[in-house]
């Protein structure tokens, strides 16, 4: 019966049916079978890599059963589905996550042990699925985990890049990029669906045709180049449920039936080149975060992905439905940033050109289907595509965009007659030097909801970049959904010891708190329990040891796990202000040197002036981002000087961990005492690593920006170290810099002098970084926040005491760590997904 849905059968029973992962003997049997039949090897020559592949296949067998059942049940139920369109899914590793979500980790660890392998070593073999740049891509990965875990019917759609985000090496202190060919070995987690082949056309021309059925003229687009989209599907198992959704990532393949002679005069070489051109489409992820470069191949990627996904969605709809008015009761499409905005145009094209709907009727359906998430207010990150390029690549779509704009502007004119200025401000077509399509405006006009990703950010978009649209559509079109993170990966997987301690304290042996994260609140009961605080602190120390080992392995530098671990890991960007952090490190170094010169001992300095600390950095710079690369170089040269200074002992170490990625984050984040989220106020839309650090008991030093604001509200302002100018002062300060010049504080001047005199290598190498502050108006307000940053440090370091075991540390620092974790429940991506479901998608979980 239809009212019985996917998860109504007893979960425990289902689990056991799916036995291999819950039964050691069966698992061992399955493992050996996979070694012999898939890998064509035997147990005597099976290494860790082979073990990873065999184990993954054995685990996958269980996931596939849930997956097939889920899809079948969802199809029978025929309810509304959510489609999350994202050009990036920064998934990281799949195997450990599957074991955790299936609740099979202990059994499998034992079975693998019996076979002579160590689970940790086997897990290490898996390459990260690094199909994303940073926050936006990782958010999509957390969301698919939550959509499965909360029992929604939801698919992710993206591209299956052969090269993920580049690998970063640090050579002589400089970033060097190398390709991330992550599919060197076959990927056990992907299921290629070669039987599905969706044609996607590009270029060509549009002509008008008289339709004898309707007696009206009809537009026909004759494409000039065809590429085939073939899906690779990735199962997304939920935690504590059999619900297993699908992540569908497209591959571009050449068509086999193309008429080469028509375009290439039978030139064989040329025709092979055309085939290769097709596969190039999905070969590489563009490595820019928060910066749009307007490359033709990128637009081709976007259209390819959008056209294939919509074709797939509509094909599924048409199997059971005829009435187009019902589409938005069956389909919700979420646009992760403006990258998939062409989906709006494509759906309008399908409805009007192919299905014969009347324009207005079609447009209403389109608006009900789509919703758009904005991730930035920075104008350099907002997509604009030249009209010429769009017109050449997808000529019919450009016509439709003009038509959408025409009707939109007509409505605006009716509502605000005579306001020519308003019309030109909100026009989807920008009449500038290069006439272009403003993708964010198109996304707003074509959606029923637009959301920002943290309260402050959602307010800012309404009052700055999208102000006119609030006036036109009313404030109801705009909403906020504060970001979240999945506690399965970012607590249970990354920090198993802390997760276990919490499960014991909450009397929750099944880790149900991982799907009811508000339960963490009960940890507050133990904040005065000294034995508990000690246990908590011991786990942190253990995680710091693990991080110290990673640092040693990747940089050669030894850091003492007793010192304060002060971490900033995220993409390198001027607005994120790694420069502020490294300047403060230099300042500290200069002052320690002064004290040493005055004859103080390391011991005295540690006790009275500067507690011992390691400044730990990591993050990639976009390959063409000159300033970001200078920042990386400066961090590395400072490290070189400081770490080789024989006087300084463990008072200060500075390291740059190369190739920051999801699997390194899983080691770095649990090992932090303090992390930096210090963007210029109003620039970081949300941030999500702030949430990951706080959930792992690290304290935050941060500006009043993005989700820091809500984190503070939840955990209490005494448990976070906020500093710096507020978003509302930023314009005024910039104005002042511009007209009155930049005032460099004395403290920063000392730092600049040290750099200028060559203390950290050739001063010319850092000149443009320093000049951007002292001569080019310090756009990111480093000068305004520097002393406030130093003060915040002074204050917090007193509370840290001398670290692990120290009475001050246990009395002042550790309780803050516990209280942070206890109050982080709000930031689960489960909560976040429930908000999208209720306020934007209008869907409910399929029976829990």
Residues that bind ligand F55 (CB under 6 A): 133-136, 139, 288-290, 292, 375-376, 381, 453, 483, 684-688, 706
Query: CA 613, CA 802: separation in Å to the nearest integer?
Result: 10
3 state DSSP class of 163: strand
3-state secondary structure of 302: helix
Q: Do 278 and 253 touch, CB atoms closer than 8 A?
A: yes
* Closer of 242 and 686 to ligand F55 (Cβ): 686
Smallest distance, Å, CB 490 to ligand F55? 14
- Do the beta carbons of residue 554 and residue 831 sit within 8 Å? no
State which residue, 289 or 673, has the beta carbon closest to ligand F55.
289
Q: What is the distance between the alpha carbons of residues 21 and 24, in angstroms, rounded to a whole number? A: 7
Angle between helical axes of 746-756 and 782-800 (0-180°, round to 10): 100
Measured torsion, CA atoms of residues 89, 92, 93, 94, in degrees rounded to the nearest 10: -20
Residue found under tokens 């992540």: 247
Read off the tokens for 703.
């500006």
By beta-carbon proximity to ligand F55, the closer residue of 453 and 569 is: 453
Determine the Cα–Cα distance for residues 429 and 402; give it in Å rounded to an integer.
Answer: 8
Answer yes or no: 688 catalytic: yes
When the beta carbons of 136 and 814 are compared against ligand F55, the nearer one is 136
User: Minimal distance in Å, beta carbon 43 to ligand F55?
Assistant: 43
Nearest-approach distance from CB 379 to ligand F55, in angstroms: 12
Q: Which of 15, 375, 438, 816 is an active site residue?
A: 375
Packing angle of the helix pair 455-463, 708-715 (nearest 10 deg): 140
Rounded to the nearest whole angstrom, what is the least distance from the CB of residue 381 to ligand F55 in the complex? 5
465 or 590: whose CB is closer to ligand F55?
A: 465
State the residue number with the nearest CB to ligand F55: 135
Please identify, using beta-carbon distances, which residue of 105 and 138 lies nearer to ligand F55.
Answer: 138
Question: In the structure encoding, which two tokens stand for residue 27, read together?
Answer: 């698992």
225-237 and 244-254 beta bridge pairing: antiparallel
* Cβ-based nearer residue to ligand F55, 160 or 341: 341
Apex CA 127: angle with CA 671 and CA 189, to 5°? 120
Task: Select which of 571, 620, 677, 809 is catalytic.
Answer: 571
- In whole angstroms, the minimum distance from the beta carbon of 306 to ligand F55 comes to 15
**Cβ count within 10 A of residue 488:** 27
Identify the burial level of 684 via C-beta atoms within 10 angstroms of its C-beta, where 0-12 means exposed, 13-18 middle and 19 or more buried: buried
Task: Kindly name the residue from 241, 341, 637, 688 that is annotated as catalytic.
Answer: 688
**In the annotation, is 544 catalytic?**
no
- Contact yes or no for 783/773 (Cβ under 8 A): yes
Q: Which is catalytic among the residues 300, 653, 692, 809? A: 692
Under 8 Å between Cβ of 801 and 815: no
Question: Is the Cβ of residue 206 or residue 378 nearer to ligand F55 in the bound state?
Answer: 378
Burial per residue of 655-678, b for 16 or more beta-carbon CB atoms within 10 angstroms, e otherwise: bbbbbbbbbbbbbbbbbbbbbbbb
Contacts 24+ apart (CB under 8 A), 542-548: 542/497, 543/495, 543/497, 543/498, 543/670, 543/671, 543/696, 544/671, 544/673, 546/667, 546/670, 546/671, 547/616, 547/667, 547/668, 547/670, 547/671, 547/672, 548/671
Identity of the residue, 298 or 316, whose beta carbon is nearer to ligand F55 in the bound complex: 298
What are the beta bridge partners of residue 229? 198, 252
CA pair distance 223, 203, nearest whole angstrom? 5
- The tokens describing 761, both together, are 């290598």
Q: How far apart are CA 261 and CA 723, in angstroms?
A: 67
Q: Is residue 375 flagged as an active site residue?
A: yes
Q: For the CB of residue 482, give the shortest distance to ligand F55 in the complex, in Å.
A: 10
Catalytic residue among 15, 505, 570, 677: 570
Query: Count of alpha carbons within 13 Å of 178, Cβ hemisphere only?
Result: 10
| Separation between Cα atoms, residue 204 and residue 201, nearest integer Å | 8
Nearer to ligand F55, 580 or 691 (CB): 691
Pairs from 619-622 (Cβ < 8 Å, separation ≥ 24):
619/568, 619/569, 619/570, 619/571, 619/572, 619/578, 619/660, 620/165, 620/166, 620/168, 620/175, 620/287, 620/571, 620/572, 620/659, 620/660, 621/175, 621/571, 621/572, 622/287, 622/288, 622/289, 622/291, 622/571
Could you confirm whether 500 is annotated as catalytic? Answer: no
- Taking each helix axis from N to C terminus, what angle separates 814-822 and 530-555, rounded to the nearest 10 degrees? 90
Q: Which two tokens stand for residue 469?
A: 């649209």
Quote the least distance from Cβ 443 to ligand F55, whole Å: 13
Catalytic residue ranges: 375, 570-571, 576, 688, 692
């Amino acid at each position: 019966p239809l009212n019985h849905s996917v998860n109504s059968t007893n979960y425990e029973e289902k689990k056991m049916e799916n036995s291999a992962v819950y039964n050691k003997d069966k698992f061992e049997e399955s493992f050996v079978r996979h070694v012999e039949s898939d890998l064509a090897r035997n147990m005597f020559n099976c290494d860790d890599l082979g073990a990873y592949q065999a184990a993954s296949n054995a685990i996958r067998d269980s996931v596939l059963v849930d997956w097939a059942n889920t899809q079948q049940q969802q199809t029978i139920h025929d309810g509304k589905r959510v489609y999350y369109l994202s050009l990036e899914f920064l998934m990281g590793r799949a195997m450990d996550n599957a074991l955790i979500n299936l609740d099979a980790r202990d059994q499998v660890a034992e079975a693998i042990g019996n076979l002579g392998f160590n689970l940790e070593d086997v897990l290490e073999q898996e390459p990260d699925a690094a199909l994303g740049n940073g926050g936006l891509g990782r958010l999509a990965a957390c969301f698919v985990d939550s959509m499965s875990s909360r029992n929604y019917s939801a698919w992710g759609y993206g591209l299956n890049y052969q090269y993920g985000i580049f690998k970063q090496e640090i050579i002589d202190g400089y970033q060097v990029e190398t390709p991330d060919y992550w599919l060197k070995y076959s990927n056990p987690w992907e299921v290629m669906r070669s039987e599905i082949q969706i044609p996607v056309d590009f270029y060509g021309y549009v002509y008008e045709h008289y339709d004898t059925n309707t007696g009206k003229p009809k537009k026909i687009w004759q494409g000039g180049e065809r590429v085939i989209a073939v899906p690779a599907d990735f199962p997304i198992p939920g935690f504590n449920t059999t619900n297993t959704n699908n992540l569908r990532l497209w591959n571009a393949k050449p068509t086999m039936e193309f008429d080469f002679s028509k375009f290439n005069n039978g030139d064989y070489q040329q025709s092979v080149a055309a085939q290769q051109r097709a596969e190039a489409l999905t070969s590489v992820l563009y490595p820019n975060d928060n910066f749009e470069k307007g490359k033709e191949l990128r637009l081709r990627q976007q259209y390819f992905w959008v056209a294939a996904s919509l074709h797939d969605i509509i094909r599924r709809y048409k199997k059971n439905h005829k009435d187009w008015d019902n589409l938005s009761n069956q389909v919700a499409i979420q646009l992760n940033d403006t990258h998939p905005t062409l989906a709006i145009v494509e759906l309008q094209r399908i409805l009007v050109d192919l299905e014969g709907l009347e324009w207005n009727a079609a447009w209403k359906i389109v608006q009900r289907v789509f919703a758009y998430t904005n991730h930035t207010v920075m104008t350099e990150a907002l997509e604009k595509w030249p009209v010429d390029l769009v017109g050449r690549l997808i000529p019919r779509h450009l016509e439709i965009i003009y038509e959408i704009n025409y009707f939109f502007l007509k409505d605006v004119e009716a509502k605000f007659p005579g306001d020519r200025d308003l019309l030109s401000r909100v026009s989807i077509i920008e009449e500038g030097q290069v006439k272009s399509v403003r993708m964010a405006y198109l996304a707003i006009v074509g959606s029923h909801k637009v959301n920002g990703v943290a309260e402050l950010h959602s307010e800012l978009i309404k009052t700055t970049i999208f102000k006119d649209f609030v006036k036109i559509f009313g404030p109801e079109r705009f909403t906020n959904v504060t970001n979240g993170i999945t506690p399965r990966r970012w607590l249970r997987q990354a920090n198993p010891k802390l997760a276990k301690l919490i499960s014991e304290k909450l009397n929750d042996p099944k880790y149900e708190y991982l799907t009811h994260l508000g339960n963490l609140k009960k940890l507050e009961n133990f904040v005065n329990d000294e034995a508990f605080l000690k246990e908590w602190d011991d786990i942190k120390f253990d995680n710091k040891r693990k991080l110290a080992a990673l640092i040693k392995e990747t940089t050669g530098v030894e850091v003492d796990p007793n010192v304060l671990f002060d971490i900033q890991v995220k993409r390198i960007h001027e607005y994120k202000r790694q420069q502020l952090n490294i300047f403060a490190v230099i300042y500290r170094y200069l002052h320690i040197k002064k004290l040493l010169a005055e004859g103080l001992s390391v011991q005295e300095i540690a006790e009275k002036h500067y507690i011992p600390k390691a400044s730990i950095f990591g993050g990639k710079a976009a390959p063409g981002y000159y300033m970001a690369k200078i920042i990386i170089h400066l961090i590395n040269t400072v490290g070189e000087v400081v770490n080789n200074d024989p006087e300084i002992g463990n008072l200060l170490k500075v390291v740059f961990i190369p190739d920051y990625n999801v699997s390194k984050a899983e080691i770095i984040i649990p090992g932090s005492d303090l992390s930096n989220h210090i963007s210029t106020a109003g620039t970081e839309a949300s941030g999500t690593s702030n949430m990951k650090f706080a959930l792992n008991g690290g304290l935050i030093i941060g500006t009043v920006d993005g989700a820091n604001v809500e984190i503070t509200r939840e955990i209490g302002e005494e448990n976070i170290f906020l500093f710096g100018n507020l978003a509302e002062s930023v314009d005024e300060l910039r104005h002042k810099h511009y007209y009155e010049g930049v005032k460099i504080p004395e403290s920063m001047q000392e730092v600049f002098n040290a750099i200028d005199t060559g203390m950290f290598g050739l001063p010319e190498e850092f000149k443009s970084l320093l000049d951007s502050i002292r001569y080019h108006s310090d756009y990111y307000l480093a000068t305004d926040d520097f002393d406030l940053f130093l003060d915040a440090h002074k204050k917090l370091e007193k509370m840290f005491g001398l670290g692990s075991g120290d009475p001050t540390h246990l009395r002042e620092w550790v309780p803050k760590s516990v209280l942070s974790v206890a109050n982080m429940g709000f930031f689960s991506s489960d909560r976040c997904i429930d908000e999208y479901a209720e306020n934007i998608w209008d869907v409910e979980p399929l029976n829990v």
